[in-house]
Amino acid sequence: MMRQGEWLGLYVASVAVALGVSAILIRATGGDSLAVFDALIEGSLTGSGRWGLTLGAAAPMLLVALGTIVSARAGLVNIGQEGQLLIGTAFAVYFGFRIGGPGPFNLVVLLVAGSIGGALWAGVAGVLRFRRGVPEVLSTLLLVTVASQVTAYALGREWLLLASNSVGARNNVSEQLAEDNRLPNLNIFGNQIPSSFFLGVVFAVIVAFALARTVWGFQLRMLGRSPQAAQRAGVSQRSFGMRAMLTSGAFAGLAGTVMFAGGGFQFSNYKFVPGFSGNIGWTGLLVALVARERAMPAIAVAIAFGALRTGSSFVGSTGVEARVTDVIEGLLVLALLVPPAVMFIRDRRRARAATTART
């Protein structure tokens, strides 16, 4: 297939350019570029136990991306996953510790509460959009800031999220999740693979199937592509759009919950802290973008982004300045974003040429 060749070529070319520029940059700042690339690969893949960590980091990114895909297909631009993730986690932490109960039961409470929290936060933007006509691009984005303030406030109050034994402690931290309440790891070929990753893959399959093969997905896609045709077909923008928004937020909330309760890559050692989200909400958005809003490719893209995260934590040990590491990470992200952008523009142009030739 010509198109697949085109894709592969574009990815190889753009990653090669990114690596080339990175190498020049490392040399220029007095580092050893080969050592840096070695560290990247060792940290993400070849190092002992690193595979599990990479997949653990990929899991929440994938979940966020799946939510983004659902809302994007409905024609909604939800870019507030970072905030929905925070509020979702806050819900999970609050209800998890309030309700308690035995391990597996408590885990379910965590996951459900987290999803509901994320959905509610996205629902705020949804209500504004469908009742008041406020563009969701703005409201979701601005609600990120509100979410981080709200969670910071809650983390400072014992009756909300603050751990009861932390009086006088310097940081506002929630209690640590008990060991038997955490998401388990699966031991495969000597790697601890976190179950959160499998959860993500299962959801990716469900989302892909629902979008491509169900009436709901059909109507959602119709709504995203042509709201007028959808309205004629009885697909109400308000109710379908609202549900898509809630689903999108629920995935972000779930992502936060697996960061909190998941094994593998430890985001904050099973505690909820200020700045907990660690840009996973934003990265998940990028994953959806690079996967061109398709669920199955999002799995591979999420793993790539997860690998970048785990790998770059090893780069510091090569003596390269931390800022250079950030730049390399940024360049590689850009390299993954360029091919979809190029193809998008090319398809657009072809489609336009096709339609103008016809009319």
Query: According to CB under 8 A, which one of 219, 243, 282, 321 is a site residue for another protein?
Result: 219
CB of 359 to another protein, least distance (A): 6
Query: According to CB under 8 A, which one of 27, 131, 157, 232 is a site residue for another protein?
Result: 232
Burial of 134 (0-12, 13-18, 19+ CB in 10 A): middle
Q: Which of these, 292, 99, 306, lies nearest to 196 by C-alpha position?
A: 306
CA atoms within 13 A on the CB side of 142: 9
Q: Does 348 bind another protein (CB under 8 A)?
A: no
Q: Which of these, 305, 304, 301, 293, lies nearest to 344 by C-alpha position?
A: 293
State both tokens at 345.
């523009």
Q: Does 225 bind another protein (CB under 8 A)?
A: yes
Q: Does 356 bind another protein (CB under 8 A)?
A: no
- The SS3 assignment for 192 reads strand
Query: According to CB under 8 A, which one of 27, 131, 213, 346 is a site residue for another protein?
Result: 213
Q: Does 317 bind another protein (CB under 8 A)?
A: no
Q: Does 231 bind another protein (CB under 8 A)?
A: yes
Query: According to CB under 8 A, which one of 11, 38, 192, 221 is a site residue for another protein?
Result: 221
Q: Which is nearer to another protein, 180 or 347 (CB)?
A: 347
Q: Find tokens 């070929």 and name the residue.
A: 189
CB of 213 to another protein, least distance (A): 5
Residue type for 105, please? F
CB of 233 to another protein, least distance (A): 4
Residues 347, 353, 358, 359, CA torsion sign? positive
State both tokens at 47.
């190092």
Query: According to CB under 8 A, which one of 16, 45, 205, 351 is a site residue for another protein?
Result: 351
Query: According to CB under 8 A, which one of 218, 243, 271, 321 is a site residue for another protein?
Result: 218
Q: Tell me which stretch binds another protein (CB under 8 A): 121-129, 130-138, 154-162, 230-238.
A: 230-238
Q: Does 236 bind another protein (CB under 8 A)?
A: yes
CB of 357 to another protein, least distance (A): 9
Q: Tell me which stretch binds another protein (CB under 8 A): 95-103, 145-153, 286-294, 350-358.
A: 350-358
Size of the site for another protein (CB under 8 A): 25
Q: Does 354 bind another protein (CB under 8 A)?
A: yes
CA distances from 56 to 62, 140, 309, 310, 341 (A): 10, 26, 11, 10, 28
* Rounded CA separation 151/94 (Å): 11
Query: According to CB under 8 A, which one of 4, 48, 164, 359 is a site residue for another protein?
Result: 359
Residue 301 in contact with residue 26, Cβ under 8 Å? Answer: no
Q: Does 355 bind another protein (CB under 8 A)?
A: yes
* Rounded CA separation 142/289 (Å): 20
Q: Which is nearer to another protein, 72 or 252 (CB)?
A: 72
* Rounded CA separation 61/212 (Å): 22
Q: Tell me which stretch binds another protein (CB under 8 A): 35-43, 150-158, 229-237, 300-308.
A: 229-237
Q: Residue 14's beta-bridge partner residues? A: none
Residue 197 in contact with residue 307, Cβ under 8 Å? Answer: no
Q: Tell me which stretch binds another protein (CB under 8 A): 155-163, 235-243, 305-313, 330-338.
A: 235-243
* Rounded CA separation 224/248 (Å): 14
Q: Does 8 bind another protein (CB under 8 A)?
A: no
Q: Tell me which stretch binds another protein (CB under 8 A): 84-92, 269-277, 283-291, 347-355.
A: 347-355
CA distances from 209 to 29, 92, 212, 239, 260 (A): 48, 28, 5, 21, 28
Q: Which is nearer to another protein, 31 or 75 (CB)?
A: 75
Residues 94, 97, 101, 106, CA torsion sign? positive
CB of 355 to another protein, least distance (A): 6
End-to-end CA distance of the chain: 29
Residues that bind another protein (CB under 8 A): 213-216, 218-219, 221-222, 225-226, 228-237, 351, 354-355, 358-359
